[in-house]
């Protein structure tokens, strides 16, 4: 019995060895196993079985000390790792023996240490899933890996974990290694096991309230100018309203007269507009003074709005030349700032302040030697949750991910990515996040709502108390002045009364002196009066006789 069998044969020439369109080759042959002369045609037109490759199941893993992804602690006296619980206390920490930074340098002593953390748990999971064993060592120079020039030549070589992987000292990088284009050109990255970005770590400022805290939004010079402007505008309103023909001295005097704008009324109007307390009376009457009043109202609106906005955000000042910010030397963040043209000025400032490791930079922030540290958000958020004097600020930028690094020809790259994707789907990565990254030590303190206390507003209350004391002091002055004025008015009234009495007495004396003279002149006045009357009578009698 025969059967038709077929094989997939390439149509490419034997010289190029490049497969092209494929076709089926049919032949009639005995059943498989019946014909010992039957040959199998392999892909590429080869009749011999391709040689396979050996996959070492003992992998050399390089990592780096970076909490919470990799913790490092010394071993016990018997060379084992001390047992302890995870940071949340839910389960035992899985630790592995890792050689120290000198483990890959020939001639240097190998220092065994204990490594544990997010990446170590991930490594143990991958080893169980993919069935391989491993030996872990810390990177010799403590760097993640960037290209640097060799002996000031144009030739560049990789340092850090990248250099050890490409140099054959490691088979796999299991660490918080950021995936970027520059590294992806030389090595193969797995699917990201942690998505993150860059953020800024600063030291949490201890609130220090002073009595003049409500005056901090403006400088003292600006406060003086505002106070001076109030009084200058008040004086100008008074003068404009006084000398305007439509103010105090109206052209049409038949109109109903209003109270003139006095200097005190002008002062009250100026302060009322600035403090938005409302103007009940004492407004300017002339057009020129009202124009100035409207301009002053616009000025007051801008000043009050600026003060209100600045009072809530006066701590967010632009960084000065003394504001120091930095990152880690020869890291992906350093590469990011170096490559961005728009960030060149920032990079020139931070380049001279960059630190060798993230741990050193974080400690520098806590010691006030560094004002801001720019680094991976996953690391900085963890540090801020564990150290309550630190806080992250700003939004995430340069979003990326952490991946496992392998060489381009590594046979493990596909299986590693599939295993990471499976870990994301079954919730293993979420569990690692909860165990190592999201555990908060400062929940109750850092998440408490910020409320104003008496210390924040003590200056305002002191201002009100000062106003009360000033009012009481002035009322006593007013009472004393009123008493003094009343006493003076009484003295004037007594003086006027005395003058009137004296004047009356003087007039009485004059009248008394005039009475004797009038008595002596009386007989002569009566005789002349009688003579005049007799003459009139005689004239009248003569006139009647003539008629």
Is the pLDDT at 407 greater than 80? The verdict is yes
Kind and range of the H or E run holding 226: helix 220-243
From the list 240, 245, 249, the residue with the least C-alpha distance to 293 is 240
336 in Cβ contact with 398 (< 8 Å) = yes
**Maximum average pLDDT range among 47-56, 193-202, 451-460:** 193-202
Mean pLDDT within 310-335 = 70
| More confident: 166 or 2 | 166
Tokens of 245: 């023909």
Same fold, 58-195 and 220-245+261-316: no
What residues contact 168, with CB distance under 8 A and at least 6 apart? Answer: none
Per-residue pLDDT band for 7 (boundaries 50, 70, 90) equals: very low
Name residue 372's beta-bridge partners. Answer: 325
The per-residue pLDDT for range 490-506, each reduced to its tens digit, is: 888 888 888 888 888 88
Collapsing DSSP to helix, strand or coil, 211 comes out as coil
Mean pLDDT within 469-491 = 82
DSSP secondary structure, 12-63, as one string? S-TTT----SEEEEEEEEESTTT-TT----BTTTB-SPPP-----SEEEEEE
Give residue limits of the domains in the chain: 58-195, 220-245+261-316, 462-489
Following CA atoms 114, 117, 118, 123 in sequence, which dihedral angle do they give, to the nearest 10 degrees?
A: 20
Name residue 85's beta-bridge partners. Answer: 92
**Maximum average pLDDT range among 50-54, 184-188, 535-539:** 184-188
ω into residue 68 within 30 of 0, thus cis? yes
The per-residue pLDDT for range 306-322, each reduced to its tens digit, is: 887 776 555 444 445 57
What residues contact 123, with CB distance under 8 A and at least 6 apart? Answer: 61, 96, 134, 136, 174
The per-residue pLDDT for range 65-115, each reduced to its tens digit, is: 988 899 998 888 888 888 887 666 667 788 898 987 654 555 566 788 899
133 in Cβ contact with 57 (< 8 Å) = yes
Tokens of 421: 């994707």
| pLDDT score, position 90 | 64
How remote is the C-alpha of 79 from its chain's centroid?
A: 48
CATH architecture for the domain at 220-245+261-316: Orthogonal Bundle (1.10)
What residues contact 455, with CB distance under 8 A and at least 6 apart? Answer: 207, 209
Mean of per-residue pLDDT scores for the chain: 76
Is the pLDDT at 8 greater than 50? The verdict is no
The per-residue pLDDT for range 240-257, each reduced to its tens digit, is: 777 776 655 454 445 555
Widest pairwise Cα distance in the chain: 207
Is the pLDDT at 297 greater than 90? The verdict is no
49 in Cβ contact with 64 (< 8 Å) = no
On whether the 58-195 domain is CATH 3.40.190.10, my answer is yes
């Amino acid at each position: 019995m025969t059967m038709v069998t077929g094989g997939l044969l390439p149509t490419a020439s034997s010289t190029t060895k490049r497969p092209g369109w494929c076709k089926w080759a049919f032949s009639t042959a005995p059943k498989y196993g019946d014909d010992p002369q039957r040959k199998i045609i392999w892909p590429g037109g080869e009749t011999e079985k391709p040689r396979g490759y050996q996959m070492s199941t003992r992998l050399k893993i390089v990592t780096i000390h970076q909490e919470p992804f990799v913790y490092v602690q010394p071993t016990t006296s018997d060379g084992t790792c001390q047992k302890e619980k995870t940071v949340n206390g839910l389960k035992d920490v899985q630790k592995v023996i890792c050689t120290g930074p000198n483990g890959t340098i020939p001639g240097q002593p190998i220092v065994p240490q204990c490594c544990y953390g997010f990446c170590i748990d991930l490594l143990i999971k991958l080893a169980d899933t993919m069935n391989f064993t491993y030996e872990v060592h810390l990177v010799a120079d403590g760097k993640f890996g960037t290209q640097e020039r060799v002996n000031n030549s144009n030739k560049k070589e990789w340092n850090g974990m990248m250099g050890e992987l490409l140099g054959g000292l490691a088979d796999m990088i299991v660490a918080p290694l950021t995936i970027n284009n520059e590294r992806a050109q030389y090595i193969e990255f797995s699917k990201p096991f942690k998505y993150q970005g860059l953020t800024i770590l600063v030291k949490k400022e201890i609130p220090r309230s002073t009595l003049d805290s409500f005056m901090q939004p403006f400088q003292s010079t600006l406060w003086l100018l505002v106070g001076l402007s109030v009084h200058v505008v008040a004086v100008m309103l008074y003068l404009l309203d006084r000398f305007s023909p439509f103010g105090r001295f109206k052209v049409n005097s038949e109109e109903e007269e209003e109270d003139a704008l006095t200097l005190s009324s002008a002062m009250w109007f100026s302060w009322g507009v600035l403090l938005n307390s409302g103007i009940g009376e004492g407004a300017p009457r002339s057009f020129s003074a009202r124009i100035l009043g409207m301009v002053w109202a616009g000025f007051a609106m801008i000043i009050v709005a600026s003060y209100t906005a600045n009072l809530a955000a006066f701590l967010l000042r632009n960084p000065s030349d003394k504001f120091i910010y930095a990152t880690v030397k020869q890291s992906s963040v350093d590469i990011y700032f170096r490559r961005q043209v728009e960030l060149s000025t920032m990079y020139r400032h931070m380049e001279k302040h960059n630190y060798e490791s993230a741990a050193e930079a974080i400690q520098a922030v806590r010691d006030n030697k560094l004002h801001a540290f720019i680094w991976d958000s996953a690391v900085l958020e963890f540090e801020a949750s564990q150290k309550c004097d630190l806080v992250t600020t700003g939004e995430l930028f340069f979003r990326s991910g952490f991946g496992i690094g392998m060489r381009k020809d590594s046979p493990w790259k596909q299986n590693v990515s599939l295993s990471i994707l499976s870990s994301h789907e079954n919730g293993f990565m979420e569990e690692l996040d909860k165990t190592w990254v999201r555990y908060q030590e400062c929940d109750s303190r850092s998440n408490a709502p910020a409320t104003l206390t008496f210390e924040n507003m003590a200056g305002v209350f002191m201002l009100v108390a000062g106003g009360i004391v000033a009012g009481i002091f002035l009322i006593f002055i007013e009472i004393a002045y009123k008493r003094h004025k009343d006493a003076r008015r009484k003295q004037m009234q007594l003086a006027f009364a005395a003058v009137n009495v004296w004047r009356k007495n003087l007039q009485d004396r004059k009248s008394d002196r005039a009475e004797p003279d009038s008595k002596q002149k009386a007989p002569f006045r009566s005789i002349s009066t009688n003579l005049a009357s007799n003459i009139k009578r005689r004239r009248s009698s003569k006139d009647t006789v003539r008629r």
